[in-house]
Chains A and B, each alone.
Chain A
Amino acid sequence: MKIVVCIKQVPDTNEVRIDPKTGTLIREGVPSIINHDDKNALEEALQLKDKYEDVHITVLTMGPPQADVALRESLAMGADRAILVSDRAFAGSDTWATAKTLTAAVKKIGDYDIIFCGRQAIDGDTAQVGPQLAEDLGLPQITYVTHLEIEGNKVKAHRALEDGYEVLTTEMPCLLTTIKELNEPRYSSVRGIFEAYKEKTVEMWNAKDIAISLEETGLNSSPTNVRQTFTPSPKGQGMILEGNGRDTVSELLFKLSEKHLI
């Protein structure tokens, strides 16, 4: 079985602070980590590898050269191959362009049975890339996977819903997006860390390598336009009316009509 796991390197939001003047994230000095849901994706792939013979795991990321660390960590956890898709031309990609770029990279990888994505990145937060990638590749997809079984060339998955789950079956190749309820990601092993740096390599692919046209990637090919980013101003203080029922009700009616709400 050949598995591709898409991971994204994100700032550790536990340590992110907001610049009170500009309202934007202060990224400087913030450690980068593998996106949480993506660690669950990788863990699931590793569990399949523990369970079945001949499972090969490729981790794939699109990002700046610093994303190397996230790929090394994936190798240290047990992945077999790591690919960093990186090019100045990709800068400013929105989810549409990110998915197009990843599609081109997956096509170059060629052979796969399952593609895992995390549900959602903790920074961009859209949960769009997984489904877009499935659409671009023409693959069946199951999102929000909380439980997974392999049956022949089919996967059977529990898909989380707000108040329960549904059981879905689909044929491979397919794309699955994972959430944290799926499993508990393992730690890297110390031996894995030294192997990741001394014995394994991270392959670097640029726009030319994955044969993507500049119409499909980067800022200019991104249909999303960011007009403004801001932190919503905190809601005003609430008001508690005290006193007996008759007085508070009439005061409430007065306040509501004052605000033209009734």
Chain B
Amino acid sequence: MNFNLTKEQEMVKTLMREFAEKEVKPIAADIDEEERFPRETVEKMARYAMMGIPFPKELGGAGGDTLSYIIAVEELSRVCGTTGVILSAHTSLGAHPIYQYGTEEQKEKYLKPLAEGKYLGAFGLTEPNAGTDAACQQTIAVLEGNHYVIDGSKVFITNGGESDIYIIFAMTDKAKGTRGISAFIVEKDFPGFSIGKIENKMGIRGSSTSELIFENCIVPKENLLGQEGKGFGIAMQTLDGGRIGIAAQALGIAQGALDECTKYMKERKQFGKPLAAFQGLQWMYADMATKVQAARFLVYNAAMKKDQKLPFATEAAMAKLFASETAMEVTTNAVQIHGGYGYIREYPIERMMRDAKITEIYEGTSQVQKMVIAANLLK
């Protein structure tokens, strides 16, 4: 296993670090406080070809690879978990399924503007009664002539209300159960499609999380993604890839909290010494740093496996499980190291702790990652 980055990946890392520090960090606290979607950041990312890093140039992408994209999510999340998930949901969940399962026409019409960052993408699988049990879909799609009519609703959809394109799952044949689920590409202006409640959240508050409502929503037949009845497989494989993105978000948040501790422990003095001199904190800090590095190796490994076209589902689940739990632990300890200041909104640490929690929940909870890992290894 070789974790040396290529020259391109090194340069992407340097670029993303600089972009994150100068463009993202200065507004991170405000968009959290105001629950404001950072549209201006999305536009800047589009200008610098950050919205379609792993897709070929002909399809509007940057012509890069998964690892470069993962590094981008990591570096953005290091200063702002919100911006990290906007890019991750857009790239892995909105654009990638069209890249993998779309027809030439669908790629031209939808993937290209998504990868160029002209459109923002989202993914709607979860429903009020279909969370972890995602197969329990109640949204239905009925073919009528040359279009489908979709009825139902989705909840908790990242980039909801801000996106132009939604990958939506619905039952085309209830009798077939999991094999009756199909995937669709839905444009924001399709008749019968609307945005419902926008959630007020603990963390990643600048990211929009909304309900999607379908009332006799008309979707042209050619917007079926993949074959009818193959939707559940598309959802699960898309989430396998998406998990590497969320793992990178968790890794970035953890690294950001660790970096804040590195600074703070040298600056803050008590008993006439910097905090860095206290062994009780050194041991805590050493554990944090070690886990962050271990998480990075798991995350990069999963991305490299995907780039090498090797199976990566188990690796992605391990990376997400470990990186998200590391993010929660590291940010919690980072608040502890900052003492009272860690609990105060003027410092970024409490935001990092709030942002970290979601990484253990979406795109499969930690329990789900364990189910995936065990199922794959005990096969």
Co-assembled chains A and B:
yes
Q: Most B CB atoms within 10 A — which of A186, A188, A191?
A: A191
CB–CB B8/A197 < 8 A: yes
Kindly state the separation between the CA atoms of A191 and B51 in the bound complex, as whole angstroms.
10
Query: What's the least CB distance linking A71 to chain B, in Å?
Result: 12
Contacts of B57 in A (CB 8 A): 191, 194
Segment at the interface with A among B11-19, B137-145, B347-355: B11-19
CB–CB A191/B7 < 8 A: no
CB–CB A189/B8 < 8 A: no
Q: Most B CB atoms within 10 A — which of A69, A186, A190, A193?
A: A190
Contacts of B72 in A (CB 8 A): 190
Kindly state the separation between the CA atoms of A187 and B21 in the bound complex, as whole angstroms.
13
Question: Is the CB of A76 closer than 8 A to any CB of chain B?
Answer: yes
Question: Is the CB of B248 closer than 8 A to any CB of chain A?
Answer: no
Question: Is the CB of B48 closer than 8 A to any CB of chain A?
Answer: yes
Contacts of A76 in B (CB 8 A): 11
Question: Is the CB of B68 closer than 8 A to any CB of chain A?
Answer: yes
Given A69-B7, A72-B7, A197-B8; A191-B15 close (CB under 8 Å): no
Question: Is the CB of B28 closer than 8 A to any CB of chain A?
Answer: no
**Chain A, 141-193, CB within 8 A of any chain B CB:** 186-193
Question: Is the CB of B128 closer than 8 A to any CB of chain A?
Answer: no
Given A73-B11, A187-B18, A187-B19; A194-B48 close (CB under 8 Å): no
Query: What's the least CB distance linking B192 to chain A, in Å?
Result: 37
How does the 8 Å CB contact mask read for A192-214 relative to B, with 1 for contact and 0 for none? 11111110000000000000000
**Chain A, 28-79, CB within 8 A of any chain B CB:** 31, 69, 72-73, 76
Count of A-B residue pairs with CB < 8 Å: 55
CB–CB B12/A193 < 8 A: yes
**Chain A, 89-126, CB within 8 A of any chain B CB:** none
Contacts of A195 in B (CB 8 A): 63
Contacts of A188 in B (CB 8 A): 11, 15, 48
Contact of A190 among B6, B7, B18, B68 (CB under 8 A): B68
CB–CB A194/B7 < 8 A: no
Given A189-B62, A191-B49, A194-B62; A72-B11 close (CB under 8 Å): yes
Question: Is the CB of B50 closer than 8 A to any CB of chain A?
Answer: yes
Kindly state the separation between the CA atoms of A69 and B14 in the bound complex, as whole angstroms.
12
State the main secondary structure of chain B at its contact with A.
helix
Query: What's the least CB distance linking B17 to chain A, in Å?
Result: 11
**Chain B, 7-33, CB within 8 A of any chain A CB:** 7-8, 11-12, 14-15, 18-19
Contacts of B61 in A (CB 8 A): 191
Given A195-B63, A198-B63; A189-B48 close (CB under 8 Å): yes
The contact size tier of chain A is: 10 to 19
Question: Is the CB of B244 closer than 8 A to any CB of chain A?
Answer: no
Contacts of B8 in A (CB 8 A): 193-194, 197-198
**Chain B, 23-67, CB within 8 A of any chain A CB:** 47-50, 53, 57, 61-64
By beta carbon, the residue of chain A nearest B47 is A189
Kindly state the separation between the CA atoms of A192 and B61 in the bound complex, as whole angstroms.
11
Contact of B49 among A31, A192, A197 (CB under 8 A): A192
Kindly state the separation between the CA atoms of A157 and B68 in the bound complex, as whole angstroms.
41
Contacts of B7 in A (CB 8 A): 69, 72, 197
Contact of B48 among A31, A73, A190 (CB under 8 A): A190
Kindly state the separation between the CA atoms of A193 and B49 in the bound complex, as whole angstroms.
10
Contacts of B11 in A (CB 8 A): 69, 72-73, 76, 188, 193, 196-197
Kindly state the separation between the CA atoms of A192 and B68 in the bound complex, as whole angstroms.
13
Contacts of B12 in A (CB 8 A): 190, 193
Contacts of B62 in A (CB 8 A): 189-191, 193-194
Given A69-B7, A189-B48, A189-B49; A194-B63 close (CB under 8 Å): yes
How does the 8 Å CB contact mask read for B141-185 relative to A, with 1 for contact and 0 for none? 000000000000000000000000000000000000000000000
Kindly state the separation between the CA atoms of A220 and B215 in the bound complex, as whole angstroms.
82
By beta carbon, the residue of chain A nearest B60 is A191
Kindly state the separation between the CA atoms of A186 and B62 in the bound complex, as whole angstroms.
17
By beta carbon, the residue of chain A nearest B9 is A193
By beta carbon, the residue of chain B nearest A31 is B14
Query: What's the least CB distance linking A67 to chain B, in Å?
Result: 13
Kindly state the separation between the CA atoms of A195 and B64 in the bound complex, as whole angstroms.
9
Kindly state the separation between the CA atoms of A188 and B12 in the bound complex, as whole angstroms.
9
Contacts of A72 in B (CB 8 A): 7, 11
Kindly state the separation between the CA atoms of A196 and B72 in the bound complex, as whole angstroms.
18
Kindly state the separation between the CA atoms of A113 and B49 in the bound complex, as whole angstroms.
31
Kindly state the separation between the CA atoms of A188 and B48 in the bound complex, as whole angstroms.
7
Contacts of A189 in B (CB 8 A): 47-49, 62
By beta carbon, the residue of chain A nearest B7 is A197
Which B residues fall within an 8 A CB radius of A? 6-8, 11-12, 14-15, 18-19, 47-50, 53, 57, 61-64, 68, 72
11 A-B contact pairs sorted by A residue (CB < 8 Å) = A72-B11, A187-B48, A190-B12, A190-B15, A190-B50, A191-B57, A193-B11, A193-B62, A194-B62, A194-B63, A194-B64
Q: Which 7 A-B pairs have the closest CB atoms?
A: A191-B49, A191-B62, A190-B62, A189-B49, A194-B63, A190-B49, A189-B48
